[in-house]
Amino acid sequence: MRRRLSAVAVLGLALPLLASAPAPAELKAHTLEAFQRYAAATEARFLTDVSPPGPFLYVDRLTGKDHEEAFEDLQRGEVFIERLQTRSENDAEIKVKDGIFHHWVGTVFIPGVGLDEALDLVQDYDRHAEIYAPQVEESRIVDRNGDNFKVFYRFRKKKIITAIHNTDHDVRYFRQGADRAYSISEATRIQEVENAGDDDEYEKPVGDDSGFLWALNTYWKFLERDGGVYVESESVSLTRGIPFFLSWMIKPFVNSVPRELLEFTLRETREELVGPAASDTPEQGAGK
């Protein structure tokens, strides 16, 4: 009897948490500043990577068996995925308080496709809601000036809970000869959407929301080689910290979603260019 009463009491305490939305989180100035330092260091390293004469792709920097296995997987149509961590100039960890950095790199090989075809697809932002559904719910080019784009995305992600964000991005493309190019994308506005699709839909204030996506930079590389194109994307994002009492609900979202979105984007890019029949891709990507 005592055990049953104890279970009832625990349930009574848990129900208010289960019924409520995730507690709001506030993007603090020191958290954003830490991300900006991390992103600046990442971009500096990225620009070094794309400069001759070193290896252009991250996977080309792997050695020995890791390099061999990565390229075998890529030739089979798998997505290579690995977690990264940028460190400061003196090799110290760049720490963040009241937030979490998520840093992943992914690569996919698209056979029988040229560099121009790959670039045409990734720059066709007006079609991205079709290509990358359901993760991308809306997409459009707001402005274009040569190889510089201003893009709007509406992201939707469901994992225990559903998060919808309206986002603006500045994207710059750089061509390096006939066989390679790269791009740098920065989210200039991220706002979580409440009551999406209803008459009372509204955007929460920037940085005063559930904290599922506060900042996002992506760095892309495109290399025509081996009878196709290697497409590599590096994603750096910032989310809220995870209070212990909400970890059961929030942790699966903030920890797994950045990797899943990157893998999904690369897989769908490959499938769109070569067709489903040639995209025999497993559920999980290679790598760590």
Is 197 among the domain residues?
A: yes
By C-alpha distance, which of 228, 128, 113 is closest to 171? 128
Q: What is the pLDDT of residue 286?
A: 56
Q: Does some domain include residue 3? A: no
Residue at 12 is within a domain = no
CATH of the domain at 208: 3.30.530.20
11 occurs within a structural domain: no
Q: pTM score, two decimals?
A: 0.86
Residue 8 lies in a domain: no
**Per-residue confidence (pLDDT) for residue 158, from 0 to 100:** 87
- Is 283 contained in some domain? no
Name the amino acid, one letter, at 25.
A
Total number of domains constituting the chain: 1
Residue 114 structural domain = 23-278
CA angle 167-221-284, nearest 5°?
75
**Range 184-191 contact pairs with CB under 8 angstroms and sequence separation of 24 or more:** 184/43, 184/46, 184/217, 184/218, 184/219, 184/220, 185/217, 185/218, 185/219, 185/220, 186/39, 186/216, 186/217, 187/215, 187/216, 187/217, 190/165, 190/166, 190/214, 190/215, 190/216, 191/165, 191/166, 191/167
Q: Does residue 199 lie in a domain region? A: yes
pLDDT string in tens for the chain (288-residue length): 445 545 444 334 443 443 445 678 899 999 999 999 999 999 999 999 999 998 999 999 999 999 999 999 999 999 999 999 999 989 999 999 999 999 999 999 999 999 999 999 999 999 999 999 999 999 999 999 999 999 999 999 988 789 999 999 999 999 999 999 999 999 999 999 998 888 899 999 999 999 999 999 999 999 999 999 999 999 999 999 877 666 666 667 677 889 999 999 999 999 999 975 554 444 445 555
Q: Is position 284 within any domain?
A: no
**Span between the terminal Cα atoms of the chain, in Å:** 48
> 124: which DSSP letter?
-
